[in-house]
Amino acid sequence: MSYVRSQDGTRIFYKDWGTGRPVVFSHGWPLDADAWDAQMLFLLHNGYRVIAHDRRGHGRSDQPATGNDMDTFADDLAVLIEALDLKSAALVGHSTGGGEVARYVGRHGTRRIGRIVLIGAVPPLMLKTATNPQGLPMCVFDGLRAGVAANRPQFFQDLAMAFHGYDRPGAKRSQAVIDSFCLRGIRGGIRPEYDCIEAFSETDFNEDLKKFNVPTLFIHGGDDQFVPFVASASAASKRVRNSTLKVYAGGSHGICSTHADRVNADLLAFLED
């Protein structure tokens, strides 16, 4: 197993396959790098070098009680990119990982980055405020914290339903997808996962988006119940010059699993454009 050490000594697990142009994946909450299996295998078979890490506190990485914030997540990503000496890499972030990618650009620029893809991503700001009326009220995130604290296994079982849109009428439910979601969530630490809720919900990425200066693709599910489209990709794509927006009608927050073939095709087309 491969690790890099962050600035505070936290071990960050990563996997690195292939020898082509690098594509670096940042996963959503409460998952880990394995959430990208379908995308990584597909792009690997199409000649790309694919890299994904487990965010601190998640998966196989260390579970520190500190540093569970977007600045540190972005700096951990920077340590990985620098350690592997990546050049002209594509950054792909889902949900919280999209925030991590945005904050990376805000703090470290695009010197090593050639393209960016944000899928169901949290920027510009999830929380409802006076200046962000389309956001979600604090009670939503308090509910996530309460669920994690009270009964994390059951909470993740329940969360997986809305995450993948399986609670919608006529949805074709996959128990295997639900089980894998829960397994990945439970592999993380309860303390860092709890803290991460504040990080993905209350971090304002507006200034970070202003620093995007490479081709950027936004992909979002039109029926995303976790990161609503109007408050996220709809707004964020308007803040990034010359960006492209693709909305999957009826798509959930978990489109990397439920719509894997379509996500894969759109990623490949964007990377090769």
Neighbouring C-beta atoms of residue 184, cutoff 10 Å: 21
Distance of CA 251 to the CA centre of its chain: 16
Beta-sheet strand order (sheet of 244-248) = 2-5, 11-17, 49-53, 22-26, 89-94, 113-119, 216-221, 244-248
Contact call for residues 74 and 203 (beta carbons, < 8 A) = no
Instruction: Give the structural domain span for 38.
Output: 2-272
Could you list the pLDDT tens digit for every one of the 273 residues in the chain?
Answer: 899 999 999 999 999 999 999 999 999 999 999 999 999 999 999 999 999 999 999 999 999 999 999 999 999 999 999 999 999 999 999 999 999 999 999 999 999 999 999 999 999 999 999 999 999 999 999 999 999 999 999 999 999 999 999 999 999 999 999 999 999 999 999 999 999 999 999 999 999 999 999 999 999 999 999 999 999 999 999 999 989 999 999 999 999 999 999 999 999 999 999
In the chain, the number of structural domains is 1
Rg (CA), the chain: 17
Distance CA 150, CA 16 (A): 36
pTM of the model: 0.97
Q: What pLDDT is attached to residue 32?
A: 98
Distance CA 218, CA 200 (A): 17
Distance of CA 55 to the CA centre of its chain: 10
Q: What pLDDT is attached to residue 1?
A: 82
CATH number of the domain to which 125 belongs: 3.40.50.1820
Give the active site residues: 95, 224, 253
Question: For residue 195, what are its two tokens?
Answer: 């803290």
